[in-house]
Structure 1
Amino acid sequence: MSHTRLHSLWTRLRRRPSDKVIEGLARVGYGARGFVYLSAGMLTLLAATDQMGEAAGSTEAIGWLAQQAFGKVWLVLLGLGLWAFVAWRGVQALFDADHQGHDLKGIAVRVGQASSALFHGLLAATVFEYLDEFGGAAAEAAEDLAERREKAEMLLALPMGQWLLVAAGLAVLALGIGNMVRAVRDDFTDSLACSPKLCRRLSPLARTGYAARGFAYLPLAAFVILAGLRAEPGAVTSLGEALDALEKQPGGSWMLGATALGLMAFGAFAFVEARWRKIRAPLSPG
């Protein structure tokens, strides 16, 4: 065997474990995300059917988990899983693992992946904050909301602060609408390595999930935008409280219930991605 062929074989052998590590991070990460959204959807459904008091976003779902039996163990596993997802999103955004390309559309997708990495990084940090405050989930949730309002107050104190806060609300609105547009336009089967028949059956799960996730952000966006227009940092709220406000509207319980089922569908599809998503780990930056 020639020196060139030996070198090529050695290079492939060296790269393969790295690829497997990245794939493992991605699959664990999708599973962790699925667990968060399934929990949030389940708790919101219980709220919509008056089985419990309040709806739940991702942060509230983590607080609920902290209060369960073996909650500390679950928090550690969930936190590590979310950091794994952050790592995978970073690979997607920085190294174009999904081969989106460098045109305007590809760059936009990768910016979205970077934003997702930031969001899930904050969520993972929240998990470990709950871990530090184990046994005080309600206090931690109140502290988290107070921190959001404090940041809103700091933003309002800046020049044109009202409009900066409005812009933040519009960014949340754009995120919601973007998810709803994806629900209609995207072909989710392209990213799955399963049989065509199975992929067709799983596609409605993804569409339902993305539509509900997008819809869930709309009331939150409204609160942030109004907080900016009225210069009232106290109007900034959490996703769970925004969904609670939705329930108080005419037909709100039905809308909240449908949203809850959709969030559960989003979580279920994340588990589908953990099993069947095509993970294209790059061999080198590019």
Structure 2
Amino acid sequence: MADVFAPIHGLRARLAALGEAGRGRFAILRRVPPLRDLLEMAARVGYGARGFVYVSIGVIALMAALDMTGDAVGSTGAAAMLAEQPFGRLWLMLLGAGLWAFVSWRVLQSVFDADREGTSRKALMLRAGQAASGVFYGLLASTVFEFLDEYERSAAADDVAENQEKAASLLALPNGHWLLLGVGLIVLGIGVGNIIKGVKADFGEALSCSPQVCKRLSPIARAGYVARGVAYLPLGVFVSLAGWRASSAEVTAFGEALDALERQPGGSWVLGVTALGLIAFGLFAFVEARFRRIRPPRDLTPG
């Protein structure tokens, strides 16, 4: 096992030596914070970027529920609408950089066990979820930077078309319909998992604030996770049906899943409440950016 990580140890040692040499030669580098502090800053910026994405999705969904705008949108659509605002390129660059910062924190959590979860079965499942989250936000960050060159595209339509294209590629594989069905069940599992976490989790445990403040903040987190779970359920159903029927046309995107909620009886109310919950999820991400206990590992060794 030691031989497997030897290149990582060697690279880390060379980078550390290079950093020390630079600090010795250039006074300005001596003002650069230690790596642990930089990683903590990156994580906090990342939580802030995630909060911005979900607050934006929630606000647009709430406006859709109140018939103040068109359809609800997902994360890609929110980025597209941001691109249309004054200083859109600047906002996109900042958002993309923040999301990549969050990806780096997810790598530390999943690969280097920054949260000290350990290697039990439950811990490994949690870290696998953090890895999947990192992949999702990495794809979102890449999409955000794509908007720097493509202002005029229809984000919602492109999002659905891209998902259907991916589904068609999956269906073309041997037993592809079962694979797509599995993806749908995973999305459903993510939705149910978020709802369960919203109901049962102790959100104050990961926050560095007084018990009184944590108690006031926990309801925001609960509402946010339950709402995000509810929003994922229609998407999971659509993808599962696509696999069951072997039809990529059934696949949709997150924004379309929110619209599906609105099409149900009392849908405007359901979408409005879900939108408020998504805003709460984004607000709690801002809380995590400020109060979360972030402990970058001293030894960057996978484990």
Q: Does the alignment reach a TM-score above 0.5?
A: yes
* 2:201 corresponds to: 186
Instruction: Report deviation, 1:145.
Output: 2.3
| TM-superposition CA deviations, 1:19-51 (whole Å, max 9, x none) | 101100100000000000000000000000110
In 1, Cα distance between the equivalents of 2:120 and 2:162?
Answer: 38
Is residue 64–residue 137 contact of structure 1 (8 Å, CA) maintained in 2?
A: no
Corresponding residue to 1:276 among 277, 291, 296: 291
* 2:167 corresponds to: 152
In 1, Cα distance between the equivalents of 2:164 and 2:73?
Answer: 19
* 2:80 corresponds to: 63
Taking structure 1 as the reference length, what is the TM-score of the superposition?
0.92
Is residue 38–residue 266 contact of structure 1 (8 Å, CA) maintained in 2?
A: yes
3-state SS of 1:159 partner: coil
Is residue 156–residue 255 contact of structure 2 (8 Å, CA) maintained in 1?
A: no
Is residue 44–residue 256 contact of structure 1 (8 Å, CA) maintained in 2?
A: yes
Map 1:66-145 → 2, pairs under 5 A: 66-134=83-151, 136-138=152-154, 140-145=155-160
* 1:227 corresponds to: 242
Is residue 66–residue 137 contact of structure 1 (8 Å, CA) maintained in 2?
A: no
* 1:161 corresponds to: 176
Q: How many residues align?
A: 272
Matched letter for residue 175 of structure 2: M
**CA RMSD of the aligned region, Å?**
1.5
In 2, Cα distance between the equivalents of 1:242 and 1:30?
Answer: 24
In 2, Cα distance between the equivalents of 1:117 and 1:51?
Answer: 33
* 2:225 corresponds to: 210
Matched letter for residue 209 of structure 1: G
2:45 equivalent to 1:28: yes
In 1, Cα distance between the equivalents of 2:63 and 2:156?
Answer: 19
| TM-superposition CA deviations, 1:223-266 (whole Å, max 9, x none) | 11111112211111111011112211101111100100000000
In 1, Cα distance between the equivalents of 2:36 and 2:173?
Answer: 45
Matched letter for residue 281 of structure 1: P
Map 1:170-185 → 2, pairs under 5 A: 170-185=185-200
Instruction: Report deviation, 1:222.
Output: 0.8
Is residue 48–residue 254 contact of structure 1 (8 Å, CA) maintained in 2?
A: yes
Instruction: Report deviation, 1:212.
Output: 0.3
In 2, Cα distance between the equivalents of 1:190 and 1:224?
Answer: 34
3-state SS of 1:193 partner: coil
In 1, Cα distance between the equivalents of 2:160 and 2:150?
Answer: 15
Single out whichever of 259-268 and 179-188 deviates more from structure 2: 179-188
Runs of 4+ more than 2 Å apart: 140-145
In 2, Cα distance between the equivalents of 1:91 and 1:262?
Answer: 28
In 1, Cα distance between the equivalents of 2:199 and 2:295?
Answer: 25
Corresponding residue to 1:250 among 265, 273, 277: 265
3-state SS of 1:152 partner: helix
Corresponding residue to 2:277 among 262, 267, 274: 262
2:52 equivalent to 1:52: no
In 1, Cα distance between the equivalents of 2:283 and 2:96?
Answer: 19
Matched letter for residue 171 of structure 1: I
Matched letter for residue 80 of structure 2: G
In 1, Cα distance between the equivalents of 2:51 and 2:82?
Answer: 14
In 2, Cα distance between the equivalents of 1:125 and 1:30?
Answer: 17
3-state SS of 2:148 partner: helix
In 1, Cα distance between the equivalents of 2:79 and 2:60?
Answer: 11
* 1:18 corresponds to: 35
Instruction: Report deviation, 1:143.
Output: 2.9
